[in-house]
Amino acid sequence: MKKVVLISALTLCLASPIAFADEESEAVGRPGDPSKVSRTVEITMVDNRFDPSEVKAREGETIKFLLRNSGKKKHEMMIGSSEEIDKHGRTMKKFPDAEHHDEPNMIAVEPGKTRELVWQFTKAGTVDFACPLPGHFKGMNFPGMKGTIKVESK
């Protein structure tokens, strides 16, 4: 019985980014079409920060994020609202050994590797990104691996 409860809890936790990407995508954007990328933004993932941690975008723009992990640990980049990132970070802290999967708004990058995430910014405002892995991120109101994307109106 314990295994069934644990598996159910892990399934729900890992599914939360999927639900976020579908239900709240209009708040922060949506997965971008790689054939419509207007520019590439390179971000280096280090063991305690993103460089740069601030990005500017325009409403409607599709950006390809080229993520280079120059650290010694696995890192992730999750794009979302601060509430969703905080929630996902707390879930990951509860289940640190759970397998992590790429989602439309989140990608994992192993040390020494480079990966891409394509995102379209549909509304003006501020969009957050962070590495929600345990110990890398302490919440949007604390230091850690986080950043912002300022989306300007057309």
Q: Residue 69's pLDDT is what?
A: 97
* CA-wise closest residue to 147 among 65, 91, 31: 65
Average pLDDT, the chain: 82
Tell the CATH topology of 2-152.
Immunoglobulin-like (2.60.40)
CB atoms within 10 A of CB 21: 20
**Whether pTM exceeds 0.85:** no
Angstrom distances, CA of residue 52 to CA of 11, 65, 105: 33, 11, 18
Return the structure tokens found at 35: 């054939």
Contacts of 5 (CB under 8 A, 6+ apart): none
**Would you say residue 77 has pLDDT above 80?**
yes
Distance CA(128)–CA(78), nearest Å, equals: 8
* CA-wise closest residue to 128 among 86, 67, 66: 86
Q: pLDDT tens digits, residue range 101-142?
A: 678 899 999 999 999 999 999 999 999 999 888 777 665 555
Domain ranges of the chain: 2-152
Angstrom distances, CA of residue 15 to CA of 20, 80, 85, 88: 9, 15, 14, 10
